[in-house]
Amino acid sequence: MNSSNTIIGKSLKRVDARGKTTGDTLFLTDLKVENMLHAAPVYSATPYGELLNIDTSRVESDPDFIAFFSANDIPGENQVGVIIEDQPLMADKVVRYIGDSVGILVAATNASAQRLSKLVDVQVQPFQPILSINDSRDAIQNFLHESNLACQHQVKRGDIEAAFESADHVIEAHFETPFQEHYYLEPQGCIAQLTAEGGIYIIGSIQCPFYVQKAVAKALDLPFSKIKVEQAPTGGAFGGKEDVPSEVCTRAALAALLLKQPVKMVYSRRDDVQLTSKRHPFQMHYKVGVSKEGKLLAAEIKLEENAGAYATLSSVVSYRSAMQAMGPYVIENISVESKSYYTNLPPTGAFRGFGSPQAAFGHERMMDIIATELGMDPTALRLQNILKVDSHTLTGQHLTSSVGAEETLRTAMEAAQWNDQDISEDSRWKTGYGVSLIHYGNCLGAAGWFMDGSGVKIKVHRDGSISVAFGLIEMGQGALTVVNQMAAEALGVESSRITILPTDTEQVPDSGPSVASRNVVMTGNAIRNAANKLSPILKEAAAELMQVDLREVNIENGLVSNIRNDEQMSFTELANYLYLSNRPMDVMGWWHVPELEYDAVNGIGEAYFTYSYATHIAKVKVDTLTGLVNVEKIWASHDVGRAINPSGLEAQIEGGTAQGIGWALTENFKMNLGEVLTDNLTTYLLPTAMDVGEIESIIVEDPEPEGPWGAKGIGEPAIIPTAAAIANAVSQALGKPMDQIPISPETVLEMIEN
Amino acid sequence: MNSSNTIIGKSLKRVDARGKTTGDTLFLTDLKVENMLHAAPVYSATPYGELLNIDTSRVESDPDFIAFFSANDIPGENQVGVIIEDQPLMADKVVRYIGDSVGILVAATNASAQRLSKLVDVQVQPFQPILSINDSRDAIQNFLHESNLACQHQVKRGDIEAAFESADHVIEAHFETPFQEHYYLEPQGCIAQLTAEGGIYIIGSIQCPFYVQKAVAKALDLPFSKIKVEQAPTGGAFGGKEDVPSEVCTRAALAALLLKQPVKMVYSRRDDVQLTSKRHPFQMHYKVGVSKEGKLLAAEIKLEENAGAYATLSSVVSYRSAMQAMGPYVIENISVESKSYYTNLPPTGAFRGFGSPQAAFGHERMMDIIATELGMDPTALRLQNILKVDSHTLTGQHLTSSVGAEETLRTAMEAAQWNDQDISEDSRWKTGYGVSLIHYGNCLGAAGWFMDGSGVKIKVHRDGSISVAFGLIEMGQGALTVVNQMAAEALGVESSRITILPTDTEQVPDSGPSVASRNVVMTGNAIRNAANKLSPILKEAAAELMQVDLREVNIENGLVSNIRNDEQMSFTELANYLYLSNRPMDVMGWWHVPELEYDAVNGIGEAYFTYSYATHIAKVKVDTLTGLVNVEKIWASHDVGRAINPSGLEAQIEGGTAQGIGWALTENFKMNLGEVLTDNLTTYLLPTAMDVGEIESIIVEDPEPEGPWGAKGIGEPAIIPTAAAIANAVSQALGKPMDQIPISPETVLEMIEN
């Protein structure tokens, strides 16, 4: 491929823009199926207790009432826990949070289903609920499950005792981060239908169709081959549609199976907020030893996570936060313990970053506290300890390439004029700059290696158009567009030839979950694998047609040429000849992450096969009169290895940063004894364009040899550093440590007053 | 594979039986889509003429009227001819038969669409219509197209003049066979919908989804990659849904594209019979020279076919009837000319056998006439000339294996007690026995080799269930069941693990048309190709798990064992390990027919890669009072290479034979100046169980090395010999030659009277 003609690095318009702009794209709410019934969840209104009885007598005489199904109706296993088997599909003995589903109510209309589901009397003998990490950790009885510890991971490396002794300074701090609600614009939903031969077909707003397939198989006791799960166009997910759709779809599938009629279930916003997963609140204790010159010598880190009622993805959050707990810095003596505790609150689970934004808040606030203590510039402290090629990470992983941490820091500093900060004096408005630096392990890592493979199917049509099916999904992040570009590049054709197909479990290999910023890396490499199979077929056919040796054939940008003479033909002609010569035109591609050497007991070794790096610098103005924090600008510099689609990448950075701003400042998730109070946009304040301010995206390209065209993931790195950068900026502005978020006006005023 | 455990040759229950029995299987008529409109064809009521105007004024004010579209609205090419580009999607200058579509009318309901479509005034300046082969051939002006000859094929081999001179007897005869209407139970139909990004999704009752994709691409000027065509469960086809759905679906797609709403079009029975293709009527002249001992020395054969208004599949019919015109006999000097002529009648096209039943009527009646002339037993004459291993066919093709012709004749004779015929004396009821012997070239043959490849996609799920997608389709013939069996055998698992997916153009490689008895051969070999890719992956994983060498692993009937010790595990365990070890679990399989050496100018060489053979013996009783022919029994012996599913095979033989009986006796297709008179089951008499009598199926297995597990095609051979056997039996009973069908009571009485 001639690099001058490459489509990699060009800002392609989103390929799904048209339908989403015109409204032609149909989301789940728009979809209807003949004879469709409607369902709504029936759940506990008590945070913790024994389920005594479910009384449906008040709804059964309603003309719109069709059926109610509970745990007793499940033909297979009543179990939907994605990693740990701790979560019933429908609670049958104990309810563990307000929202714990005990059944599904089916009615003739959606309105009736919503109305009647609230009239079912779920009778519970209440227990004393456990609502905080501390209460959960310290409990000695009435455990939510076998114990209250949902899961844990650790890193134990070096000799921290000796290292602390040798340190000039030992500094401790405590940090807290709150819940965050995904607040995807489209709530959870699906339609489940029976197939003629007793199978199930589900279409839904789903991040991980293969998870849904597994959940349905288990609960309905059906073989995987009888279950087709298709992703409908999805209006946002952010991790919130990783495992939750397994519950939603399996319940709807159960109803469809028993009623032999299609069943649609779309959660109301209220139910969606109350029932589904959130970002884990963390409380973190950092103890770090440094030399007087600012070299990190030892760290003892305790991360504690509020897992809510069921573990869901807590294990991944716990693992990832442990692996990244001290950030992109060299430190040889370290102890990290990361523990998730059950509470009687909605389950916390997958959310953009999987514990990384929380850990980043810890290590980046800590770095600023250390810098303050040592009287150093925060960037100087970071530069002194920063990971480089040939460094070892905190887990002892030897980094051999694509370590752009320093480059992101230097480019962000330069763009923000860090060394010439614009801090105007004003008695009311205080200006502050904050920096935050992170590394992010790409894909699932050592703990999830066994499922870290992905596939594609590429079909060349005889008119030279090409269909690509990939095993991951589009959820708003721009996946379809980068997949298009990567396929065009790998096959040597124009992107206009390529159509990306909707993802369904029949079409493509089980490619694992669409999480962990996996898409570019996994799908890109799978595309290259498929292209490696197709290329010899294409070249052999071209050589046959042009009567040259196949090594003399070049296919580029939709033109087929040979180096022997100036003869050219279009890819269309070649495709037609492929067809006429009876050659295979459909290939599968597959790629899995390289095997990782990792010691799970001590958390030492190759935690991830590569890392993305980022620096965010935030400039804030704090209104000391109202306590309001105004983010004037964020400089977001990201080492992505290689930018596939720069404008899509910038959109990801801007979106992630905005979501980070929301978590840091405006989104204040409130519950009362497990009942969510902030269940709408009037009370749960997503940041608007007015709140976000200016974001300057800076793309650093330090190619990763194992990444496709050098690329690494960006979906999550975009949010991870933001909150810490803002907190550091507020701390600088106020001259006081801001060690928790959200930084609400009340918090700021309180801090100013103290 | 241990042959004792093989599933090949076992009579598996139909895998699609449940849904079709319970009614859970939804056919096109059952399917509804949100916001769906309904369409009906608007067509010429004049058999031939200039299209002057289409006046829609009578329908436009109807509240249910939505739109009318004609040739002017087609964005791409107004062309839907499948082989020859002679057929407009909508006639725009000339109409060539009663039923020639000039537009599509869209209305709010199906009833309105049907009603309003008949009120559109299609104004035509009539020409003198051409209705017969003779008139078409002899016309010197007013040709339907550039000329009236739609297509032709020939065989010219040896020196027929010299051979005729050396012959002891030169015998001539003339035969005629009529139209046959497919009368599939489900009429033509589809639903076309727009996709969000401007593509088209079609679901329909379709034999060849990839044909529809191509037709839509051409007329709507869309890339193939934007067009998805899915086959709905299909209630019969018999060739009648090979190319016709391309018209139906493309017109519906045009309406959906222009209206931006889903459009459903299902033909009424009347329209289906009037508009869509039929079996070609043939008139045949045979002149054969034989020695006095009965050796075939020379043949001059002229086949003439009524192609109707457009060529559609006439070329295939013309080719195949020429290649098989003298049957499964050795003859070294031969001239065959097979010509199709346009007439102003509904187009004739693909119909089970593609001209073979017609040619078989010619050569098998001819063999009986020769036998009578020579005073030989008809079977003795046939045995003397029959094709064997090492023979050459009439096209000079050297047969090296799997030539079961003689075996089918001997087994049928034995079963029917040919040499001890049960001919009771009765003045009113005359008994007759007739024999008929055929060969049938498998798959598309030399003329269609370029598209004679097929594919499958096999997915192993982690629970050990398996999905198989194949590129051909189920249309009632039992394809799903044999595909299941072949996949189970190839992978070494129980058939219960396997689910066969619906066919759609996105899921599978373009596998050509589901015609020409291709499915077992093409799909079976593609499955073996896929299994050859999957097997090393499975065995490597098993070897890794069992810690043995992969050559020591055996996978059979769902059990994985190794020859080193007695260790066994289930295929489920192996599949799960495949998943956990990140191995690819989805593979594509592909197979194409071996290249054929064929001289198209002279029709000499390898016309097909292999042949199926069959003998039918019919025992009839003719009622000389009423003229009614009663088929008492048919012995149907078929060389299928290898029976995959004997009970399915018998169902195919019985179905084909019954359809042959209908063509021979009861189905009397009548038109008046191009208008079909027999457009329902009261006037067009399909044979009932009372008409069919007893059928004894005999399966001869002479394995074909290139066939999967030795198998050859059966779908069409089942119908080919039947009519000739019945005509021979009637001829014997009456002592007079019955050289045309249908053998109606009137025909019989007239023959008796003359």
Q: pLDDT tens digits, residue range B709-731?
A: 999 999 999 999 999 999 999 99
Residue A253, pLDDT above cutoff 60: yes
Instruction: Answer whether A586 sits within 8 Å of B586, measured CB to CB.
Output: no
- Least confident range from A542-551, B420-429, B551-560, B669-678: namely B420-429
> What is residue B749's three-state secondary structure?
helix
Q: Cα B402 to the chain's mean position, in Å?
A: 22
Q: Which residues of A373-391 are buried (b: 16+ CB within 10 A; e: fewer)?
A: ebebebbebbbbbbbeeeb
B-chain residues within 8 Å CB-CB of A449? 582
Token couple for A233: 């166009």
Instruction: Answer whether A509 sits within 8 Å of B592, measured CB to CB.
Output: no
B-chain residues within 8 Å CB-CB of A467? 225, 506
A-chain residues within 8 Å CB-CB of B498? 225
Question: Per-residue pLDDT tens for B246-266?
Answer: 999 999 999 999 999 999 999
Question: Per-residue pLDDT tens for A475-487?
Answer: 999 999 999 999 9
- Mean pLDDT of the B212-227 span: 98
- Mean pLDDT of the B442-460 span: 97
Residue A150, pLDDT above cutoff 70: yes
CA A603/CA A338 separation, integer angstroms: 11
Residue B69, pLDDT above cutoff 50: yes
In angstroms, the separation between the Cα of residue A495 and the nearest Cα of chain B is: 12
In angstroms, the separation between the Cα of residue A209 and the nearest Cα of chain B is: 14
Token couple for B409: 């004749």
In angstroms, the separation between the Cα of residue B572 and the nearest Cα of chain A is: 11
- Mean pLDDT of the B267-274 span: 98
Three-state helix/strand/coil letters over A277-300: CEECCEEEEEEEEECCCCCEEEEE
**Residue B1, pLDDT score:** 39
In terms of Cα–Cα distance, which of A654, A295, A660, A615 is closest to A438? A615
Q: Which residue has the tokens 């269909």?
A: A467
The amino acid at A531 = A
Token couple for B533: 């890719």
**Residue A196, pLDDT score:** 85
Residue A2, pLDDT above cutoff 50: no
Question: Per-residue pLDDT tens for B563-622?
Answer: 888 889 999 999 999 999 999 999 999 999 999 999 999 999 999 999 999 999 999 999
pLDDT interval class at A1 (50, 70, 90): very low
B462 to chain A: closest CA residue: A224
**Residue B4, pLDDT score:** 57
Candidates B260, B450, B582; nearest CB to A453: B582
**Residue A4, pLDDT score:** 57
Tell me what the pLDDT averaged over chain B comes to.
97
Candidates B449, B461, B510; nearest CB to A224: B461
**Residue A456, pLDDT score:** 98
Beta strand B282-290 with B169-177 is antiparallel
- Residue percentage of chain A with pLDDT more than 70: 99
Instruction: Answer whether A450 sits within 8 Å of B585, measured CB to CB.
Output: no
Tell me what the pLDDT averaged over chain A comes to.
97
What single string gives the DSSP state of each residue in B373-393? HHT--HHHHHHHHB--TT-B-
Instruction: Answer whether A450 sits within 8 Å of B507, measured CB to CB.
Output: no
Cβ atoms < 10 Å from Cβ of A747 = 18
Instruction: Answer whether B499 sits within 8 Å of A582, measured CB to CB.
Output: no
A580 to chain B: closest CA residue: B450
Q: Which residue has the tokens 């299928």?
A: B640
Do B357 and B324 form a contact (C-beta atoms < 8 A)? Answer: no
- Interface mutation vs chain A, best among B201, B586, B593, most A CBs within 10 Å: B586
- The CATH architecture assigned to A282-446+598-753 reads 2-Layer Sandwich (3.30)
Beta strand A37-43 with A65-70 is unpaired
Instruction: Answer whether A225 sits within 8 Å of B451, measured CB to CB.
Output: no
What single string gives the DSSP state of each residue in A472-495? S--SSSSHHHHHHHHHHHHHT--G
Token couple for B404: 């079961």
Token couple for A513: 């979950």
Instruction: Answer whether B579 sits within 8 Å of A510, measured CB to CB.
Output: yes
CA B460/CA B538 separation, integer angstroms: 10
- Mean pLDDT of the A601-628 span: 97
* pTM attached to this predicted model: 0.96
- Mean pLDDT of the A184-213 span: 96
CATH number assigned to the domain with residue range A31-127+188-266, chosen from the 4 options 3.30.470.20, 3.40.50.300, 3.30.110.70, 3.90.1170.50: 3.90.1170.50
Token couple for B675: 């208008």
Question: Per-residue pLDDT tens for A325-357?
Answer: 999 999 999 999 999 999 999 999 999 999 999
A:B CB pairs within 8 Å: 163
Instruction: Answer whether A582 sits within 8 Å of B196, measured CB to CB.
Output: no
A226 to chain B: closest CA residue: B499
* Structural domain spans, chain B: 17-24+453-592, 31-127+188-266, 282-446+598-753
Instruction: Answer whether B506 sits within 8 Å of A506, measured CB to CB.
Output: no
Token couple for A568: 């050219």
Instruction: Answer whether A509 sits within 8 Å of B224, measured CB to CB.
Output: no
Instruction: Answer whether A462 sits within 8 Å of B498, measured CB to CB.
Output: no
pLDDT interval class at B671 (50, 70, 90): very high
Within this chain, domains A17-24+453-592 and A31-127+188-266 share the same CATH topology: no
Instruction: Answer whether B499 sits within 8 Å of A34, measured CB to CB.
Output: no
**Residue A563, pLDDT score:** 86
Question: Per-residue pLDDT tens for A450-471?
Answer: 999 999 999 999 999 999 999 9
Q: What is the CATH T-level fold of the domain A17-24+453-592, as seen in this structure? A: Aldehyde Oxidoreductase; domain 4 (3.30.365)
A-chain residues within 8 Å CB-CB of B592? 582
**Residue B5, pLDDT score:** 67
- Residue percentage of chain B with pLDDT more than 70: 99
**Residue A5, pLDDT score:** 67
Q: If phi over 0 gives left and psi between -120 and 50 gives alpha, with beta otherwise, what is residue A708?
A: beta
Q: Which residues does residue A194 pair with via DSSP β-bridges, in sequence order? A: A200
Token couple for A710: 């050098």
CA B96/CA A34 separation, integer angstroms: 40
Candidates A34, A196, A467; nearest CB to B25: A196
| Residues comprising chain A, all counted | 754
